[in-house]
Structure 1
């Protein structure tokens, strides 16, 4: 009853999770195995500690602290008489909480696309743990004051840092496994080849005698080049995998007694260079991946804008289609009314006025249908773009100008989507209209539909028949402004060269779907071909 207020205020929950107990035992076992294969300059338990904190949710961190204390309890209990109870208890209890606080301080940075924060965690963890170990040894073990030195601190810092670079990048790779990254096309074989080359060079260096230190260090430096290649191709993922491979290849060849104080002077210089190189590679890889994700985000936004532009154009075409159908119904009603009036006049013997009315109605009905075809070319839905250009209202309008030669149409437009055919129709109509208004002389229209690889499209050229003439600057500027928006929405280009306008439209896949309302397929029904 006395502690009820405390539980109410602080929401204490002392329930022990079985998963947490298993996690603590596994962590203690992993720490013990890593400690047995480590030397001071290559301290794997430091990497196990950081990797466990990165992989486990914060609610399980107390179990990790308990697991590490469990290992130190069985490892340092026999040392109580030699070094004292204070050192065994305090030095074993402060390391994991300190690193946990460092990782927790970086939790906000972990949500970003830049993985350079991992180096900050590695540096701070290595410095903090090394200073705590040496400082507590100096304070709590007066008989070992001479063993504590800045040289030892530097050696432990490098060892902890290299150990962290072994396991922490792998843990981060696992947590970011769902984030997509595509390497340069055609270079998928680079990963196994580069990793294999790193291992071969490391094994070759291991076989050299200790007297040939220069050649051994040269091979260690040569291992950096495949790592650099992987970093450039795969970003921070390539850097993480290559740095881990470099550290393991060099570190596992070190001679270890499994006891504290194991050290290999011969390889220490190479490991110092490796620490600097690994840091540089991870920074470079993080920068590459950061800019890659920014590029992909901008690319997605650009594709979304193009999709929305195409959907907007198709919605406008659907509106004009409805207007054209409404105009057709009006035209049919007018024709029916004229037919009834003609029949009424014939029944009463007024054949001449009836025939005049019939001829007038036919002429006006033809003109009305031509204008209706210009509003929306229904022929495209049933016969394709080229039929609409040859027999539709636009063909009559072009023939009436007496300035346009017979169009040269090549390829099969029926292989293109209805949206692309409509965009080509509107672009061609606008370009011809612009040249008719702004330039003098005859025009020649050429189009070609085709396929290159998996890409389908159409190329249209509207040129002045006189090859010695050139388009004026004002005409070229108007063409870019008038045609650029629709052509860009379909992944094409507008080019004004010498005496011609050249348009290219490409079949673009829809990469963004409107979250609500009509889809592209619903806005514009497929053509009946």
Structure 2
């Protein structure tokens, strides 16, 4: 069997798959045509010339629908506009019907394409530029209003009816109608699209139910707008104008609290309530509230974008602060591990020295005089005691074997103060101390040692009391450590420079001890009393910061 060069073998059924794929593509285009035409017709029926909701649908589809479906959008709009304008053939004439049947979306396509391509309206899947979006909305509304006004000038009323006079205010009415219709729908579509991109439809609905902006909108915005709408329908003159202006007060509050999402939600609701009360024909009295709504909605969206940026920066700063605290805690914990390893190494060295000296004395026992042998034993014992005390200061054996509470009661601090003939008392109360993280246990012990060294750096005391209390408030565990030096003595009974190595302390000052406490979300207070000095420290559980600190702090939805 021979195979000619260039021949390719295709699997069986390949042609059927290609035909099926082509049919699915055409079905998608047909579905887009039908869906857009139906949506356009429904929105046109509930809107008027002062509030053109199809303008919002048109711009939303151009912003988010892929380019390959744009011809389908144009066909769908042409079908809807032809159906609605043909009914007015006897009233406005054939020329107006023909111009009104043409899809205005074709004029908006180059503008939206340029903004999507060069102005970065959506720099990423979860990022929107409000300034570019508003400018695009303004230009599209201006182009659509110009075309609508040109089509209006070709209208010819039937014989016997009064002549139709086209005025400049009709052009303004078309512009504000397109612009307000776009501002009502487009920001809400942007919100919904971003939420849908962040998860499934079910997750989006659950997030909407838990959203604070939706809750505030239901509790405050809707009742206020309902009351002002009722007042607008019952009042006349200046009272009606005041009611319309007051509708943007809760929108401003929602914007200040929730950023541009609050402006989008509240602005759309306020425009809906006001525009539904407008007459069907454009009048000079309608242009004033239209201009006010356009200015207010645009300003609140821009203000909301700025507030959103500030909120994201503040959240990022908080996360960065939590990360810094977390890294500082990790650094302290790693330092504690090194001290623990050093203590273990010193104990091993002490044991090795004892064995070495034991073997050496066994060999030299008959060569040394009894006095020198006794002196050698004493020097070896002193050296081993110093090494053992140094290891116990770095990481006390009582703390190592029985935990923090035993380390505070019977550890190196208690032994050092007892050697200096200073009375030491330790009182531990409260629940939850054993549930604190190991890093907080370490911090409590080290801060207690640093505080004791600080007390004796300020003066001499005959008695030191340590109070430790733990608790939990709203699921967050805490601990309070307090040390009191009382019984001021004129004789220097403890040298801080000698006490610090025994306790594994660094001899930090008060500010450094306070900074150490703040790493664990706490603080320090020092109080001089007639009997001595009192140092109180509050620490929170480090596990809370570990759960909130994250190294992927990019916000899910941002604007610029």
- TM-score computed with the length of structure 1 as normaliser: 0.76
Alpha-carbon distance between aligned partners in 1 of 2:242 and 2:488, rounded to the nearest angstrom:
67
- CA shift, 1:332, in A, is 3.0
- CA shift, 1:158, in A, is 1.2
Say if 1:77 and 1:88, in contact at 8 Å, map to a contact too. Answer: no
* Aligned positions of 1:381-392 closer than 5 A: 381-392=400-411
2:399 equivalent in structure 1: 380
The answer as to 2:451 corresponding to 1:421 is no
1:482 equivalent in structure 2: 512
2:536 equivalent in structure 1: 502
Alpha-carbon distance between aligned partners in 2 of 1:30 and 1:324, rounded to the nearest angstrom:
76
- CA shift, 1:206, in A, is 6.1
Alpha-carbon distance between aligned partners in 2 of 1:338 and 1:300, rounded to the nearest angstrom:
56
* Alpha-carbon displacement from aligned partner over 1:369-403 (angstroms, at most 9, x marks no partner): 2211222235435433232123222332333444x
Say if 1:42 and 1:162, in contact at 8 Å, map to a contact too. Answer: yes
- CA shift, 1:175, in A, is 2.6
Alpha-carbon distance between aligned partners in 2 of 1:376 and 1:301, rounded to the nearest angstrom:
32
- CA shift, 1:98, in A, is 4.1
* Alpha-carbon displacement from aligned partner over 1:172-224 (angstroms, at most 9, x marks no partner): 11133249999999998533122331442255146527xx3444334333333
* Aligned positions of 1:32-431 closer than 5 A: 32-75=41-84, 82-83=94-95, 87=99, 92=104, 94-101=106-113, 103-104=115-116, 105-108=118-121, 111=124, 112=127, 115-134=130-149, 141=154, 149-177=167-195, 178=198, 189-205=215-231, 207-208=233-234, 212-254=236-278, 256=280, 262-263=281-282, 269-337=288-356, 364-402=383-421, 404-411=422-429, 413-431=433-451
1:458 equivalent in structure 2: 479
Say if 2:96 and 2:155, in contact at 8 Å, map to a contact too. Answer: no
Aligned CA distance change for structure 1 residues 264 and 26 (closer, same or farther; 3 Å): farther
The number of equivalent residue pairs is: 484
* Alpha-carbon displacement from aligned partner over 1:258-292 (angstroms, at most 9, x marks no partner): xxxx4466655444333333223323322222111
The answer as to 2:462 corresponding to 1:449 is no
* Alpha-carbon displacement from aligned partner over 1:428-469 (angstroms, at most 9, x marks no partner): 2223324434x2222734332322412222233445537999
- CA shift, 1:108, in A, is 4.6
- CA shift, 1:103, in A, is 4.3
More divergent stretch after superposition (174-183 vs 413-422):
174-183
Aligned CA distance change for structure 1 residues 396 and 42 (closer, same or farther; 3 Å): same
Say if 1:380 and 1:418, in contact at 8 Å, map to a contact too. Answer: no
Alpha-carbon distance between aligned partners in 1 of 2:549 and 2:539, rounded to the nearest angstrom:
19
Say if 1:430 and 1:483, in contact at 8 Å, map to a contact too. Answer: yes
Say if 2:121 and 2:129, in contact at 8 Å, map to a contact too. Answer: no
Aligned CA distance change for structure 1 residues 447 and 157 (closer, same or farther; 3 Å): farther
* Aligned positions of 1:19-30 closer than 5 A: 19-30=28-39
The runs of 5 or more residues in structure 1 that have no matched partner are 1-13, 257-261, 470-476, 516-529
Say if 2:50 and 2:278, in contact at 8 Å, map to a contact too. Answer: no
1:318 aligned counterpart, secondary structure: helix
The runs of 5 or more residues in structure 2 that have no matched partner are 1-21, 158-162, 491-506, 553-560
More divergent stretch after superposition (73-82 vs 15-24):
73-82
Aligned CA distance change for structure 1 residues 66 and 342 (closer, same or farther; 3 Å): farther
Alpha-carbon distance between aligned partners in 2 of 1:57 and 1:328, rounded to the nearest angstrom:
72
Aligned CA distance change for structure 1 residues 49 and 405 (closer, same or farther; 3 Å): farther
* Alpha-carbon displacement from aligned partner over 1:18-40 (angstroms, at most 9, x marks no partner): 43442233122211221222211
Say if 2:104 and 2:144, in contact at 8 Å, map to a contact too. Answer: no
